Structure 1
Amino acid sequence: LICWLFDRPLDQAAHLLKNKFAKKPSVLEANIKVMTDGYNYGNNIHASVSTYRIETKSAKKGFYTDVNGNRATALGLIAASEKSGLPLFLGSYPITPASDILHELAKRKDLGVKVVQAEDEIAGICTAIGASFAGNLAATSTSGPGLALKSEAIGLAVMAELPLVIIDVQRGGPSTGLPTKSEQTDLLQALYGRNGESPVVVLAASTPTNCFDMAFVASKIALEHMTPVILLTDAFIANGSSAWRIPEMEEYPEIHPQYVYNDLLKDNWKPYKRNPETNVRYWAIPGTEGFMHRLGGLEKDCITSAISTDPANHQKMTDMRQAKIDYIANEIPELEILGNPEADLLVVGWGGTYGHLYSAVESMNAIGKKVAMVHFNYINPMPKNTEEILRRYKKVVVCELNNGQFATQLCAKIPGLTNVSRFNKVQGQPFMVSELTDHFSKLMEE
């Protein structure tokens, strides 16, 4: 029936069936008959006003598979482990809709992956922090309620300045909320949901296949900048699947953890000895001769690394931890304008709303209504050209599956933005393209 509806030749589908059932001629014959009858059925009853022709697109050669967002996230962590030369450790606790990451990585002992299913969310992240201190690429996976429980331990990783990847597959909230539905309501929790000045990197994946890339990037940033990184996905892209070309690892950059080196001993090395350009402290793996040390959750003197309650030192360490995150803006890609760059209306999105927003912008431009779009994968720090792009357009609409959390962040970081409006939805469901185009049209008419 689908072959008839989309005007596709039956011989291609028959070729696939012949390969699949070559050793079972009776099964092949039955499938060919059913397929032919379905094609004729559509034609005879006029199942649609007309048929549709979808032209074949040329694809880059390689091996393709279907992958959902959770599996892609797990594979991205494995790829980062390979590129960094570090063993991968996941300390986690099952929670909908993130459990598949735990399940997938538990299968990969053949690649040296270690997985601990802990007794609760707090134990899960604390095992990961221990693994990070011991020199592993360490990660933990959860959803919104679990991220809340992990908040104190994330603060410990910030204070100890240890690399850690925290994956939050967002679902409806608050509390246990809507476990099987999708929202973007954890953003401000990821940015600010800890005590004290506790800055972390926050990233967001935009499609099921992009989960692979962003898990890899999250790992690279965590290891090279000695910081926790929170990667936000959501139930929609975590469970949704896309065709994915399995990449060659040569296409991905090397990962270079900032290890200690022997010359630091001449300068009276301490655990918070930093790279003067990036403010990243040097990573001493336990057992490295000459670099014995300890870390903890109490504030340390910026020189001696002894526990310190000195006000000026606390200010300095607070500023250094923030400067370390801010510097990362120099190493992430700038925003790319999609759609029509000459438009008056700019659509802004982040994370898993990408597909719906892009489809809406494309359909608007197809009928002559000029609309541009930018989509954020890097939330904190934001791309360096963010302010310049947002001030370029007469009207900006920020579309989110929450009550305006990213719009609030943009207006806080870029004071004086008067051209920003909001389009929000909190129903546990993704946007519909039709509701987006209707809203964009009204904005353009005002």
Structure 2
Amino acid sequence: MNIKEVRRLDRVIIRFAGDSGDGMQLTGDRFTAETASFGNDLATLPNFPAEIRAPAGTLPGVSSYQLHFADHDILTPGDAPDVLVAMNPAALRANIADLPRGAEVIVNTDEFSARAIRKAGYAASPLEDRSLDGYRLHPVPLTTLTVEALKEFGLSRKEAERSKNMFALGLLSWMYHRSTEGTETFLTSKFAKRPAIAAANIAALRAGWNFGETTEDFAVSYEVAPAATAFPAGTYRSVSGNLALSYGLVAASRQADLPLYLGSYPITPASDILHELSKHKNFGVRTFQAEDEIAGIGAALGAAFGGSLAVTTTSGPGVALKSEAIGLAVSLELPLLIVDIQRGGPSTGLPTKTEQADLLQAMYGRNGEAPVPVVAPQTPADCFDAAIEAARIALEYRTPVFLLSDGYLANGSEPWRIPEAAELPYLRVQFAQGPNHTLDDGTEVFRPYKRDPHTLARPWAIPGTPGLEHRVGGIEKQDGTGDISYDPANHEFMVRTRQAKIDGIEVPDLEVDDPDGAGTLVLGWGSTYGPITAAVRRLRRAGQPVAQAHLRHLNPFPRDLGTVLGRYERVVVPEMNLGQLAALVRAKYLADVESITQVNGMPFKEEQLAHALEKIIHDH
């Protein structure tokens, strides 16, 4: 028997690409799950077409899933794939430019018909014109092999062809020594009501593995050892940002001992949160899919008035529609989480691509002076902790809070250590129980706007509680009594008090990573954390001292941010917009900051960001 060579690697980047109906997201997700179970550190980048179903075989219809896994701590889904699996000519053409020379390219030759080649924009077959000579090309008739492997199941050719993604997954699982047991269990469960389909997919998966084992074309397989030193002890699972955020909301509601209510309208890329929370009625979660964005936040605000931990989820266009109701929540001073999974804009923009361009909208996108705290997670797993932190602020200070994630975090995955319940913060709140003010004549009354002297939060009075009747609505309230008031002095007092409440929110000081006493600080927020950290590490390895800090709290900023900025000769802010955080920092601290901006719908690449930072440092 011919024993194949096994090479050991420290890291690998794989990209699966095909039509949106080829199951590339499922294939990548299953490979990711097995890789997480194996113990590698990982980061992923799913990339969806914006069209619901673009014409098959066209460039706009290409869907891809990139996975970077390693035996050490990694921070990004990788700049350039080491392996591309292309299910058709369009997938090859859309992705080949990202590959370095020498990368492995596995193509499904069955799809390279003359018509499909023309549809993808090729003048001639790339498999025959020597344009792929710089790569290690593996032509594999994936469709034919899959259909042949499934002959015994009596499926139509069309049904059998649908399993070709499982054949490809089996082949890649063999190449990188990934187990298939978890995927087999998944398929058995997914197709429990159609056992013949489950069996066929499992057979295709095993056939792909066996093909890799026996074919002469794949003479080498690869091993990437578990990342034992990268993770603290604990129980881990692979988690996407939207899933982690959903779990964080459930955990916050349990820590607060409040029912969780989600009022939402489906919108990419936030819909997965609605889908996930709808599964957790056993934890007291209620989900309401409203007829539009305004109804979604209106229902959530009503739930907050009724004593729930209330949430509304959306993306940038939905925030625009919700803006008046967010202002109402500011006026009512009720806890409400507004989860904005940012995407490319303006208007409908790039529905399936990522961007960080809603920061100024979250800060100022309402009429009047309507300040709202803003919290941003930095990695997919960090969405769990950021959701709990946003809930803490909302409950403690009786205010709506923006939670700014984005499409890159929402759909990306990484290992997450499942926390123990004892590690989670205590979030219990005290509802108003009775009168809280004594009049001059000794009468005890309830004042709905009598504030906590420390937090400036007003009482949370549950409707129906005897003696706590009070007015609600968007018209200005009289301080203390809550009566409608048009008095100019009272309005100014209430506006300044609401602003003081937000300014006074206690947030941790900024953590600065500066082991070498650098002259340059790279300041980021949100999902740029991974690329920034990877780029900073690269510069430090090259002998260039660089400091790094990352903002979770964007309103209010950490109290020491101005002091930190003053310690550095240069402050550089990379962000996926045209410089929104940089503008806020310049305005508040009169700091001379430099921007690195990108708005192409994709996250920064490590090498690209490192070169941009290096140029700024050297130009000074």
Question: TM-score, normalised to structure 1's length?
Answer: 0.90
Give 1:425 shift.
Answer: 0.9
Give 1:285 shift.
Answer: 1.0
In the alignment, is residue 180 of structure 1 matched against residue 352 of structure 2?
A: yes
Contact 2:471–2:483 under 8 Å retained in 1: no
In the alignment, is residue 207 of structure 1 matched against residue 379 of structure 2?
A: yes
Q: Of 403, 422, 426, which residue of structure 2 is paired with 1:254? A: 426
In the alignment, is residue 334 of structure 1 matched against residue 509 of structure 2?
A: yes
| Distance of aligned partners of 1:118 and 1:37 in 2 relative to their CA distance in 1, 3 Å threshold | same
Give 1:181 shift.
Answer: 0.6
- CA displacement, residues 189-224 of structure 1 (integer Å, 9 cap, x when unaligned): 000000000001111111100111111111111111
Q: Of 6, 10, 16, which residue of structure 1 is paired with 2:9? A: 6
Q: Distance in 1 between matches of 2:206 and 2:580?
A: 57
Give 1:440 shift.
Answer: 1.2
Match of 1:360 in 2: 535
Match of 1:310 in 2: 487
Contact 2:435–2:467 under 8 Å retained in 1: no
Contact 1:169–1:234 under 8 Å retained in 2: yes
Q: Distance in 2 between matches of 1:231 and 1:58?
A: 28
Contact 1:17–1:31 under 8 Å retained in 2: no
Q: Distance in 2 between matches of 1:124 and 1:20?
A: 36
Match of 1:195 in 2: 367
Name the SS for the 1:259 alignment partner: coil
Q: Distance in 2 between matches of 1:116 and 1:152?
A: 20
| Distance of aligned partners of 1:62 and 1:426 in 2 relative to their CA distance in 1, 3 Å threshold | same
Q: Distance in 2 between matches of 1:87 and 1:129?
A: 14
In the alignment, is residue 87 of structure 1 matched against residue 259 of structure 2?
A: yes
Q: Of 547, 569, 592, which residue of structure 2 is paired with 1:372? A: 547
Give 1:277 shift.
Answer: 1.9
Alignment of 1:210-289 (within 5 A): 210-262=382-434, 264-266=436-438, 268-289=445-466
Give the fraction of aligned pairs with identical amino acids, expressed as a percent. 49
Contact 1:76–1:216 under 8 Å retained in 2: yes
Q: Of 117, 128, 144, which residue of structure 1 is paired with 2:289? A: 117
Contact 1:69–1:237 under 8 Å retained in 2: yes
Name the SS for the 1:408 alignment partner: helix
Match of 1:402 in 2: 577
Q: Distance in 2 between matches of 1:72 and 1:442?
A: 36
Q: Distance in 2 between matches of 1:86 and 1:160?
A: 19
Q: In terms of mean alpha carbon deviation, does 204-213 or 55-64 score higher?
A: 55-64
In the alignment, is residue 442 of structure 1 matched against residue 619 of structure 2?
A: no
Give 1:77 shift.
Answer: 0.5
Give 1:69 shift.
Answer: 0.6
Which consecutive segments of 4 or more residues in structure 1 shift more than 4 A? 7-11, 13-22, 26-40, 51-55
Give 1:259 shift.
Answer: 2.5
Q: Distance in 2 between matches of 1:37 and 1:245?
A: 38
Q: Distance in 1 between matches of 2:342 and 2:318?
A: 10
Contact 2:434–2:468 under 8 Å retained in 1: no
Q: Distance in 2 between matches of 1:338 and 1:73?
A: 26
Q: Distance in 2 between matches of 1:19 and 1:311?
A: 66
Match of 2:157 in 1: none
Match of 1:299 in 2: 476
Q: Distance in 2 between matches of 1:119 and 1:241?
A: 30
Q: Distance in 2 between matches of 1:19 and 1:257?
A: 42
Give 1:59 shift.
Answer: 3.1
| Distance of aligned partners of 1:174 and 1:71 in 2 relative to their CA distance in 1, 3 Å threshold | same
Q: Distance in 2 between matches of 1:385 and 1:7?
A: 39
Name the SS for the 1:150 alignment partner: helix
Name the SS for the 1:347 alignment partner: strand
Aligned AA for 1:432? K
> How many equivalent pairs are there?
436
Match of 2:309 in 1: 137
Q: Distance in 2 between matches of 1:325 and 1:200?
A: 7
Match of 2:102 in 1: none
- CA displacement, residues 117-142 of structure 1 (integer Å, 9 cap, x when unaligned): 00000000000000000000000000
Match of 1:62 in 2: 234
Q: Of 600, 603, 620, which residue of structure 2 is paired with 1:427? A: 600
Give 1:21 shift.
Answer: 8.3
- CA displacement, residues 131-184 of structure 1 (integer Å, 9 cap, x when unaligned): 000000000000000000000000000000010000000000000010011000
Aligned AA for 1:108? H
Name the SS for the 1:4 alignment partner: strand
Highest RCO, 1 vs 2 (Cα 8 Å, sep ≥ 6): 1
Aligned AA for 2:487? D
Stretches of structure 1 lacking an aligned partner (at least 5 in a row): none
Aligned AA for 2:371? P
Q: Of 169, 173, 176, which residue of structure 1 is paired with 2:341? A: 169
Give 1:246 shift.
Answer: 1.4
Name the SS for the 1:103 alignment partner: helix
Q: Distance in 2 between matches of 1:116 and 1:20?
A: 32
Name the SS for the 2:449 alignment partner: coil
Give 1:263 shift.
Answer: 6.0
Q: Distance in 2 between matches of 1:159 and 1:2?
A: 68
Give 1:303 shift.
Answer: 2.8
Contact 2:290–2:296 under 8 Å retained in 1: yes
Stretches of structure 2 lacking an aligned partner (at least 5 in a row): 12-37, 39-172, 186-198, 439-443
Match of 2:564 in 1: 389
Contact 2:330–2:400 under 8 Å retained in 1: yes
Give 1:340 shift.
Answer: 3.4
Q: Distance in 2 between matches of 1:17 and 1:200?
A: 47
Q: In terms of mean alpha carbon deviation, does 358-367 or 285-294 score higher?
A: 285-294
Match of 1:350 in 2: 525
| Distance of aligned partners of 1:433 and 1:20 in 2 relative to their CA distance in 1, 3 Å threshold | closer
In the alignment, is residue 77 of structure 1 matched against residue 254 of structure 2?
A: no
Aligned AA for 2:373? V
Q: Distance in 2 between matches of 1:425 and 1:439?
A: 12
Q: Distance in 2 between matches of 1:367 and 1:295?
A: 60
Based on CA coordinates, which of the two structures has the bigger radius of gyration?
A: 2
Give 1:88 shift.
Answer: 0.2
Q: Distance in 1 between matches of 2:278 and 2:580?
A: 34
Contact 1:208–1:240 under 8 Å retained in 2: yes
In the alignment, is residue 414 of structure 1 matched against residue 589 of structure 2?
A: yes
Give 1:371 shift.
Answer: 0.6
